[in-house]
Amino acid sequence: MKAKTVCIIPARGGSKRIPKKNIKSFFGKPLIAYSIQTAIDSKLFTKIIVSTDDEEIANIAKEYGAEVPFMRPKELADDFTGTVDVVNSMIAKLQEIGEKYDYICTLYATAPLLRTEYLIQGYERLKSSDAKYSFSSTSMPFPIQRTFKLRDDGRCEMFTPKHYSSRSQDLEEAYQDAGQFYWNKSSKQSDSIIFGADSIPIVLPRYLVQDIDTLEDWERAELAYAVLYKDNFDKWNILKKRLHKKENIIKFSNGNIYFMSLGQNIGHEVYGKDELFLRPVLVYKKLSKTTFIGIPLTSQKKEGSYYFSFNYKKNKTSTAMLHQMRVLDIRRSEYLSGHINKNIYKNLQLKVEEFMKLPQSSTKGNGQLGLNR
C-alpha cells in the first residue's frame, strides 16, 4: 500500500521584520508560491496544506495549488509559538476528520532556493531507514572550534581557546539546520530531539541555503536566486546561452541584412515561433569578428529624422529605425536575408550623420524622443 504523505507549510500573517514576508513578491511571485510549487513538483504528497491565520495568505496559497482546510487559531499565531505546536495542531485537526498520514513534512514558506531533489532524498532516505526524522542541513562555513563571543566590555573570548592555533583542515566539520524541510515518520516513536541520533541530515550545498528573517537576508536570497535560477525569470537567458555557444561564426560585412534573435520588445514586428523571435537587422558598422553596430528594420514605411527607407528586395520597402541602433552579436543571426548596394549604404551614412546631430530634447513631428548620448 502506498504511504500517505502530507506537506504542511506554516505561514502566519504577523511577520514583523519583513511585513507580509510569506507573500512578499520574490521575482514576480509570492514567496510562499516557491515552496508550494516545490512540493507539487516532487509528486510526493497526498495533500499540500498551508497553516495560516491570514485570509490573504490563505487565498494566495489556494491560488498556487495548496489547500487551507482550517484557519490557524490566533493563540498559535503569535511571536512565541513554535513550529512544532503549529504542525501538531494541524495533524490533530486532520485526525479529527479521519485523515491519518504515514509521513509528515514541514516545509517552510521561506525556501525559494530549495530543489525538489533534496526534498525527495529526505523522504526516500527516511522511508528506507529506522530513523524518526530527516531534515535539511548544510555545513558551517567556518570551523566552530575557532569561533569567539563578544564580552560585555567589548572584548572577545574564544569558546574553545585550545584550538586557537589549530589548522582548519585538522578540525572536525560541523553542520547546521538549513531551515527548509523536516520529515517525520508517524509510526516511529522516539524521545530524541530532531538534531539527534534518530535523525538523518540531508546535506545541501551552502549556496542553496539562506535564512530569510531580515531585509538583508531577503537581499542575499534575491542575489542567490538571480544567479542560480536566471532561466526562470529571464525568458531569453536559455536562448542567449545557446547562441553564445555557437562555434561556427559566419563572416559578415557592412550592408548585410540578417534575421536575428532580438526579442519581442524590439519594434513592432516579430517573426518566428516558440522561443525564437526574429527581427531583420542591417549591419551598419562591423566592430569585430562577432560584433557590429546594427539597425533593426521594419516593413512599415515611416517618415522623419529617425528613419531611413530603402529597397533591398523587389517591390519591398524596408525602413531602418535609427533610434534603435545598438551593438549586436552576429551569433544571434539565423540567416542572411540580403544586402544593400553601395549607393544606398552611402545615403544611409549621410542619414545617420544627420541623426546623430539631433538635439537630445524631444523632436517635433515624429513622435519620438531624441537620443540620450
**For residues 158 and 147, is the Cβ–Cβ distance under 8 A?**
yes
Could you write out the DSSP letters of every residue in 129-172? SS-SEEEEEEE-SS-GGG-EEE-TTS-EEESSGGGTT--GGGSP
Q: What share of the chain in percent tops pLDDT 70?
A: 90
Burial class (CB in 10 A: 0-12, 13-18, 19+), 95: exposed
Q: What is the mean pLDDT of residues 325-347?
A: 92
Domains 5-144+170-233 and 237-356 share a fold: no
The rounded distance, in Å, linking the Cα atoms of 292 and 7 is 53
| The pLDDT of residue 373 | 31
Look up residue 102 and give its three cell numbers: 504515514
Cβ count near 344 (within 10 Å): 17
Considering the segment(s) 237-356 as one domain, its CATH architecture is Roll (2.30)
Higher pLDDT, 267 or 298: 298
| The pLDDT of residue 53 | 97
> What per-residue string of b and e applies to 224-251 under the rule 16 or more CB within 10 Å gives b?
bbeeebeeeeeebeebbeebeeeeeeee
- Chain centroid to CA 28: 9
Could you tell me what percentage of the chain is helix, strand and coil, using 3-state DSSP and rounding each to the nearest 5? 30, 25, 45
- The angle formed by the CA atoms of residues 178, 180 and 186, to the nearest 5 degrees, is 110
Q: In the sheet where 199-204 sits, what is the strand order?
A: 47-51, 5-10, 103-107, 175-185, 133-139, 199-204
| The pLDDT of residue 261 | 80
Q: What is the mean pLDDT of residues 39-58?
A: 98
Instruction: Report domain extents, the chain.
Output: 5-144+170-233, 237-356
Look up residue 13 and give its three cell numbers: 500573517
Give Cα separations from 360 to 353, 368, 373 (angstroms): 15, 11, 7
Confidence of residue 287 (pLDDT cuts 50, 70, 90): very high
Cβ count near 327 (within 10 Å): 11
pTM of the full structure: 0.71
**For residues 250 and 329, is the Cβ–Cβ distance under 8 A?**
no
Considering the segment(s) 5-144+170-233 as one domain, its CATH architecture is Alpha-Beta Complex (3.90)
| The pLDDT of residue 239 | 66
The rounded distance, in Å, linking the Cα atoms of 279 and 291 is 17
What tens digit of pLDDT does each residue of 91-146 get? Answer: 999 999 999 999 999 999 999 999 999 999 999 999 999 999 999 999 999 999 99
Confidence of residue 302 (pLDDT cuts 50, 70, 90): confident
